[in-house]
Amino acid sequence: MTRRLRALALLLALLGCAGQLPAPAIAQHPLAAYVEVPYPPPAALAETIPERPASPGVVWIDGEWRYHGGGYVWRRGGWVAPPPGSRFGAWRSWYRRDGRLMLAPGTWYVAHYERLRTPAAIVPAFTPPNEITSESQTGR
């Protein structure tokens, strides 16, 4: 086999192994969604993705740190049925030119950036066995 054929075979094998979870329609956060936080969130916690439920239209939402009461609290990811006509803005952070850190939590929106209540996970993510569960961890 020539080098090119080997490289092509490797590329096709890698592409065949790559999986992608179904994601919701994406929204940008309006500037009003960002709040100032005193420090960045910790690294994301490891979560195990459960088997996709048979419900049609479900999408995967990653877990995220939320700033609450002077510290960060982990919100688990999970399989969610998106509200009709909605878009999801995943959490984002950015530094302003004056050095302040701004954070927008993951939020569901409908037209004109009207916020929706976060739908409950149909099947939530879970922490791998023999790990401290995320409910007992905070970002302090």
Residue 14 lies in a domain: no
Residue 36 lies in a domain: yes
State percent of the chain over pLDDT 70.
Answer: 78
72 vs 64: CA distance, rounded Å: 10
65 vs 106: CA distance, rounded Å: 9
107 vs 90: CA distance, rounded Å: 7
Residue 48 lies in a domain: yes
Q: Please choose, from the candidates 7, 50, 45, the residue with its C-alpha nearest in 3D space to the C-alpha of residue 134.
A: 45
Q: Give the domain extent around 75.
A: 21-136
Tens digit of pLDDT for each residue in 13-62?
444 444 689 999 999 999 999 999 999 999 999 899 999 999 999 999 99
Residue 122 lies in a domain: yes
Element (H, E) at 3: helix 3-17
Residue 132 lies in a domain: yes
Residue 7 lies in a domain: no
Work out how many domains the chain is built from and give that number.
1
Joined together, the tokens standing for residue 63 give 């877990």
